[in-house]
């Protein structure tokens, strides 16, 4: 079975309080290390001229993570009393709280990314002077 499938099964299990299977943990670390190495190799080989268009595409992909975090944040009802009481009843509130943090960080990522891309694009624009403006 694929490590990704095992991880998805573990995360979707109703008894989230039990320990994670070592095989799932090893598979998850393997996928993370492979993704980090592959991402570094892809980004390091991009010529500087293509960085601005790639940043725009990356910001659009970050928008997809914003939609996903909105779905997670709205999946359960937040209850502070159950959260502070702990136990299995607090899992829904923890998921909602983590979803809120994900929404906030994804929003900051998207807004600042598009702001930075706009600022980079302004560096390549030529300023056209209007005749008669400097009298």
Which of 69, 76, 105, 106 has the alpha carbon at shortest distance from 16? 76
pLDDT band, very low/low/confident/very high, at 45 (cuts 50, 70, 90): confident
Q: What is the pLDDT of residue 33?
A: 92
pLDDT band, very low/low/confident/very high, at 114 (cuts 50, 70, 90): confident
Q: How many residues does the chain have?
A: 135
Checking if the pLDDT of 57 tops 80, the result is no
The separation between CA 15 and the C-alpha centre of its own chain, rounded to angstroms, equals 26
Angle among Cα 72, 78, 82 to the nearest 5 degrees reads: 125
Q: Which of 6 and 102 is assigned the larger pLDDT?
A: 102
Burial class (CB in 10 A: 0-12, 13-18, 19+), 129: exposed
Average pLDDT, the chain: 78
pLDDT tens, position by position, 93-108: 888 888 899 999 989 9
What backbone phi and psi angles, to 5 degrees, belong to 21? -65, 135
């Amino acid at each position: 079975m694929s490590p990704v499938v095992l991880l998805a099964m573990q995360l979707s299990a109703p008894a989230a309080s039990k320990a994670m299977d070592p095989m799932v943990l090893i598979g998850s670390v393997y996928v993370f290390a492979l993704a980090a190495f592959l991402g570094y190799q892809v980004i390091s080989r991009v010529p500087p001229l293509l960085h601005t268009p790639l940043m725009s595409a990356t910001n659009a992909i970050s928008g997809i993570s914003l939609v996903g975090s909105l779905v997670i944040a709205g999946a359960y009802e937040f209850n502070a009393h159950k959260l502070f009481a702990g136990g299995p009843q607090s899992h829904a509130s923890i998921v909602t709280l983590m979803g809120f943090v994900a929404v906030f960080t994804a929003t900051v990522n998207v807004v600042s990314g598009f702001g930075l891309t706009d600022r980079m694009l302004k560096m390549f624009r030529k300023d056209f002077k209007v005749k008669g403006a400097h009298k």
